[in-house]
A and B are shown apart, each in its own frame.
Chain A
């Protein structure tokens, strides 16, 4: 049973526009969430995280929103740039830490010029 789901395998966005990537989870014990970005033939790199005590966290062009009642989080990238083209994974964990992460399936984001 997939506890973390990214239901969109791919997303295509025009350069300069907003990219919105979505993630849903089923385990109500999850209290810490992270987004990773992955280029081909490389390991995932950390982007941004959010604790369940918050509903929003920003870091430059990246903002993560958390809706605990809906068990849903989203990553907004504004403005989108060609270098943002990659696979994005959301991940979740318990105990307010980054141990034992459970990952979604990933969403391939393509930024078109």
Chain B
């Protein structure tokens, strides 16, 4: 295993509430990523980080923010969850040639 965990693994929330997903790694990798997986779309990049306090937007960043105050933690925040953000969220950590994925968080927004 690549030493990457996600919490929570499952969450049900209501529209308009804030939600934070956590990704934790024990590999000391520089790169960290957040993706969402939806039917018909594969995985799409939300935000990524190249180091502590160094983050940037991905393909589908609207409605999401991230923070990385420590090498090992990368947080994804939905400031005000919407039903369109119901999805499975994957965190990944990486080297220059590979990305290793966490087990995923299934988020349902009612």
Q: Which residues of A contact B (CB under 8 A)?
A: 4, 6, 32, 34, 36, 41-46, 49, 89, 91, 97-106
Supply 19 A–B pairs (Cβ within 8 Å), ascending by A.
A42-B103, A43-B90, A43-B102, A43-B103, A44-B43, A46-B100, A89-B42, A91-B43, A97-B96, A98-B94, A98-B95, A98-B96, A98-B98, A98-B99, A100-B48, A101-B99, A103-B42, A105-B41, A105-B42
Instruction: List the 4 closest pairs (A to B, CB-CB), nearest first.
Output: A43-B101, A103-B42, A103-B43, A105-B42
In the assembled complex, the CB of A27 is this many whole angstroms from the nearest CB of chain B, namely: 12
Main secondary structure of the interface of B (DSSP, over half): strand
B78 within 8 A of A: no
Q: Is the CB–CB distance between B104 and A42 below 8 Å? A: yes
> With an 8 A cutoff between CB atoms, is B52 at the interface?
no
**CB < 8 Å: which of A42, A45, A98 contacts B97?**
A98
Task: Select from chain B the residue with minimum beta-carbon distance to A42.
Answer: B103
Which chain B residues have a beta carbon within 8 Å of chain A's beta carbons?
31, 33, 35, 40-45, 48, 50, 58-59, 90, 92, 94-104
Contacts of A89 in B (CB 8 A): 42-43
- Pair A99/B40 contact, Cβ less than 8 Å: no
Are B98 and A43 in contact, with the CB atoms below 8 A?
no
Closest Cβ of chain B: how far from A96's Cβ, in Å? 8
Name A's interface SS.
loop
Residues A44 and B96 in contact, CB atoms below 8 Å apart = no
* Contact, CB under 8 Å: B90 / A101: no
**CB proximity of B97 to chain A, nearest CB, Å:** 5
Complex alpha-carbon distance, A9 and B45, angstroms: 21
B24 to chain A, nearest CB (A): 14
